[in-house]
Amino acid sequence: MGTHGGIASVTTDDGLVWDAPDMGEWEFDAAHQTRPGTATMEVIAPHTSEGFRRAFARYGLPMSHMEIRLVNGWAYLSMFVHGAPRKPGKPPPDTVLKAMFAIMPSAYRRRKIARLAVAEGRAMLDVRRWDSERTAWIERCLAHEGDVETLDDDALAERICATSDLFVDGAGLHFELLGPAVLVGEYLLATRAWGIPDELAAKASFFGVRSTVEAQTRLDRIAEELGTARYDSLESAREHSNAARRAIDDYLLHHGGWSLGDDLTSITLGERPDQLMRSIRDHCDSGGTEQGEAIAHAIERAREMVPDGEVHRFESMRHDAQLAYASLDDNSGLLWAWPAGLCRRAQREAGRRLVERGVLAAVDDVFVLAPAEIADFVLGRTPVADHDVNARVELQARRAAASAPAWLGAPASPPPDPSVFPEPVDRLVAAFLTFMSAKFGEPDSGQIGIGTEPVEGRAIVARSAHEALDRLEPGDILVTNATNPAYNVVLSLVGGLVTSTGGINGHSAIVARELGIPTVIGMSDAFDEINDGDRIVVDPAAATVRVVQPA
């Protein structure tokens, strides 16, 4: 490790230079990326930071914002402290943070905002805000659905820009609506104080995500229309009846365009009709999944562990945490996964046309171009020279093969002790940090099991869902990095799930509970210990995974 222009710099064996974006701590985002970001993600990243900034300011938190920067295409994260200058080394120590909040006028204003946020129940107001804006957002996404192949060049260029704007707005709003996370964090802190195990607390509260319920309801409708009939292709199933065609088309319209990852390089379910057909057949055969009885049982078990005088508080906090988590997970799919899929569809159609015109060598090379550049190329302009496009493609391939450093700048340091901040800032910080650790897990925190019964099956090892789609069969165990809401129809196929990252209230854990999938979360060495095709046993009760028959 060295310095470049006063900023910490790392040169890896492949010759790539990794400059820290500034003098602070920058941690590799292992939870959201399996390949370097597209040029579109370079456009999106600043708007995610602005979303964080608006959320933290709205709740009076001492953090200014979470900054996301791409270094050699890979995302790195850094937390900025409100009012603190960026200096080499670690963030301000707790004693300095305490003094800053005592003497800085802007910090005093932050505390007043925090008091108001608590007094007016701002977190629940943000839950209701999403409820009120949700339908309009869905209509906005639906306006960009439909075939892009039939658009002329002018209309396609307009679609590329419009879907990019949609993604920008969705990404910013998703992080702006992060405030309800404090309700989830406060609930977990309380249930831990009452001695309720995290998994039981999660089972009792983290369910009912509307987009997940809607997807399952639409699959139920397809199963009802098909009855006992089974088809090998989606087109054959659509010919079963007019009602079946409408049900399938409705599912594809509302869910088929979602990205199965966090960037445009991840495919959408609509690009794999054979996979959707397998999911439909499996859903028809299984009769769907109903977890209502298990949830009710978990609520009753958790309630029995609460002191008599705290039962009403438990019920209130559990209710609010359920609504908050459901809102957060719901908007992550609608505000991120759907716009990303719509951007992908428009940009790949542009890529296809540019290959025909000799501008690009391959359709997916279009992702090295920013949306405005793609639109210009479609309209016959030349915003980037051919040799520059080729150089970008070659560089992206080098980046994809690189081993990104785990951190840049100063090594990661633990977050501040919430107790250094005045009331109620301390409560909000503690709740937010608890939510984050429960969602993404903590280093060396161990594995988490979801479910009670072990399952044995063939391991399908894939860094992302789309890598497994062509091979996944009912009963297989998916071994992956993490999941997002667009995975849900894929997960309806699996017999078990293993992820290398995540926590008790991450998407993988939530959907595992809702679909009744035996799961182990946070097996950090999963990709080292499990090979594709191995026969493995997932034991959620023991939170273990073992290979019983190597491939």
Domain that holds residue 538: 448-549
Within a domain: 64: yes
- List the structure tokens of 411: 């090594």
- Domain match, 67 and 106 both: yes
The single residue listed with the structure tokens 């309801």 is 217
Which of 412, 439, 466 is the endpoint of a domain? Answer: 439
**SS3 at position 512:** helix
Q: pTM score > 0.85 for this model?
A: yes
- Domain match, 426 and 455 both: no
Q: How far apart are CA 173 and CA 54, in angstroms?
A: 9
Within a domain: 247: no
- Domain match, 512 and 426 both: no
| pLDDT tens digits in sequence order for the chain, 551 residues long | 444 444 578 888 888 999 999 888 899 998 888 889 999 999 999 999 999 999 999 999 999 999 999 999 999 999 998 887 777 666 677 777 777 777 788 888 999 999 999 999 999 999 999 999 999 999 999 999 989 999 999 999 999 999 999 999 999 999 999 999 999 999 999 999 999 999 999 999 998 889 988 988 998 999 999 998 989 899 999 999 999 999 999 999 999 999 988 899 988 988 888 878 887 887 777 665 567 888 999 999 999 999 999 999 999 999 999 999 999 999 999 999 999 999 999 999 999 999 999 999 999 999 999 999 999 999 999 988 888 999 999 999 999 999 899 889 877 777 888 998 999 999 999 999 999 999 888 766 789 999 889 999 999 998 876 677 778 888 899 999 888 776 776 787 789 999 998 898 888 888 888 888 999 999 989 999 999 999 999 999 999 999 999 98
CA angle 125, 433, 166 (to 5 degrees): 55
**SS3 at position 261:** coil
**SS3 at position 276:** helix
Torsions phi, psi of 546, nearest 5? -140, 145
- Domain match, 80 and 134 both: yes
Q: How far apart are CA 122 and CA 116, in angstroms?
A: 8
Q: How far apart are CA 541 and CA 544, in angstroms?
A: 8
CA angle 52, 34, 22 (to 5 degrees): 45
Q: Classify 409 in phi/psi space as left (phi over 0), alpha (psi -120 to 50) or beta.
A: left
Within a domain: 519: yes
Convert 108-124 to b/e letters by CB count within 10 Å (16 or more is b): eebbebbeebbeeebbb
Is residue 246 within 8 A of residue 320, CB to CB? The reply is: no
- Domain match, 30 and 142 both: yes
Other beta carbons within 10 angstroms of residue 209's beta carbon come to 25
Within a domain: 386: no
- Domain match, 454 and 533 both: yes
Q: How far apart are CA 189 and CA 194, in angstroms?
A: 9
Q: Classify 15 in phi/psi space as left (phi over 0), alpha (psi -120 to 50) or beta.
A: left
Number of H helices, E strands in the chain: 21, 14
Is residue 40 within 8 A of residue 164, CB to CB? The reply is: yes
Is residue 239 within 8 A of residue 245, CB to CB? The reply is: yes
- What pLDDT does 486 receive? 67
Torsions phi, psi of 170, nearest 5? -65, -45
Q: How far apart are CA 205 and CA 325, in angstroms?
A: 8
Residue 110: half-sphere exposure toward Cβ, Cα within 13 Å: 28
- List the structure tokens of 381: 């302009």
- Domain match, 15 and 54 both: yes
Q: How far apart are CA 489 and CA 484, in angstroms?
A: 11
In 426-543, which ranges are E strands?
448-450, 455-461, 477-480, 496-499, 519-521, 535-539
Q: How far apart are CA 290 and CA 153, in angstroms?
A: 47
- List the structure tokens of 8: 């910490």
- Domain match, 96 and 28 both: yes
List, as one string, the DSSP characters of 140-187. Answer: HHHTT-S-STTS-HHHHHHHHHHHHHHHHHHHHHHHHTTTTHHHHHHH
Q: How far apart are CA 443 and CA 441, in angstroms?
A: 7
- List the structure tokens of 347: 């940009």
CA angle 316, 318, 319 (to 5 degrees): 65
CA angle 308, 186, 115 (to 5 degrees): 110
Is residue 239 within 8 A of residue 543, CB to CB? The reply is: no
- β-pairing verdict for 455-461 and 448-450: unpaired
- Domain match, 411 and 455 both: no
Other beta carbons within 10 angstroms of residue 439's beta carbon come to 22
- List the structure tokens of 308: 């008599």
- What pLDDT does 284 receive? 75
Within a domain: 106: yes
- Domain match, 412 and 538 both: no
- Domain match, 429 and 458 both: no
Q: How far apart are CA 49 and CA 65, in angstroms?
A: 6
What CATH number does residue 502 fall under? 3.50.30.10
Which of 439, 463, 496 is the endpoint of a domain? Answer: 439
Q: Burial, 301: exposed, middle or buried (Cβ in 10 Å; 0-12, 13-18, 19+)? A: middle
Torsions phi, psi of 65, nearest 5? -175, 165
Within a domain: 314: no
- List the structure tokens of 40: 């579109």
Q: Which of these, 477, 473, 485, lies nearest to 451 by C-alpha position?
A: 477
Q: How far apart are the first and last CA of the chain?
A: 39
Q: How many domains does the chain have?
A: 2
Which of 395, 411, 439 is the endpoint of a domain? Answer: 439
- What pLDDT does 91 receive? 67
Within a domain: 533: yes
- Domain match, 470 and 489 both: yes
Within a domain: 194: no
